[in-house]
Amino acid sequence: MEIEFYGANCFKIKSKQASIVIDDDLDTRGSKNVTKDKDVLVVTNKSIKHDKSSGLARLTLESAGEFEVGDISVQGVQTRGHLDTDEEQTATVFQCTYGGASVTILGHIHPDLSDEVQELAGGTDVLIVPVGGNGYTLDATGATKAIKAIEPDVVIPAYYDESGLTFEVPTAPLDDFVKTSGLNFEEKSDSHKVGKTSSESGQTQLVVLETKKA
């Protein structure tokens, strides 16, 4: 699988037979949607405004379950969203698996991870986690706590302050997360290719992706 970043919480995960777009609400943020008619759209939270991108996609997944998207297996578990009350579960954590390697997308979840989320995500090869905070999503501290609980090989941060995009509330800069997490990166990458053994050092690696344009 190959992962590309388009800003906010929007990613594209590609394999030989599948193209999955995550949380494409870019038309509401001053940018353009990236979803095409061959893509499957995955929506991690009921607060995501995805009407336009759903109309472009061949299929939209926005609830818990097990799905096959070409050669990628997708599993979702329902959980408490960041702004939910104790009784609400408006978020879905999704995991994409291909060739024995997994990518888990946390989305705008509550910082107290449920047992179901930890069971699904534990030891994942790649963890995509929002870090922008300010009451809307995980902040640097909450994201770091989730990373320590899940112990992924690779972390890809999302939903932080970026020029050219608008957000419901101001988002924190990426540097806040880098300092809090203690994870370092040398330079941004154009994309990330997921392998069965993403980390040879045994330590979690931080991969920061360049923001692509639609």
pLDDT in tens, 117-176: 999 999 999 999 999 999 899 999 999 999 999 999 999 999 999 989 999 889 999 999
Secondary element (H or E) of residue 91: strand 91-98
- Between the alpha carbon of residue 18 and those of residues 2, 35, 70, 209, the distances in Å are 11, 13, 5, 21
pLDDT confidence tier of residue 200, bands split at 50, 70 and 90: low
pTM of the model: 0.95
Give the pLDDT confidence score for residue 198 in this predicted structure. Answer: 47
For 143, how many CA atoms within 13 A lie in the half-sphere containing its CB?
35
126-130 and 101-105 beta bridge pairing:
parallel
Domains and CATH numbers, the chain: 64-206 (3.60.15.10)
Q: Does 197 have pLDDT greater than 90?
A: no
CA 159/CA 79 separation, integer angstroms? 19
State residue 195's pLDDT score.
78
User: Which two structure tokens, joined as six digits, stand for 41?
Assistant: 């759209």
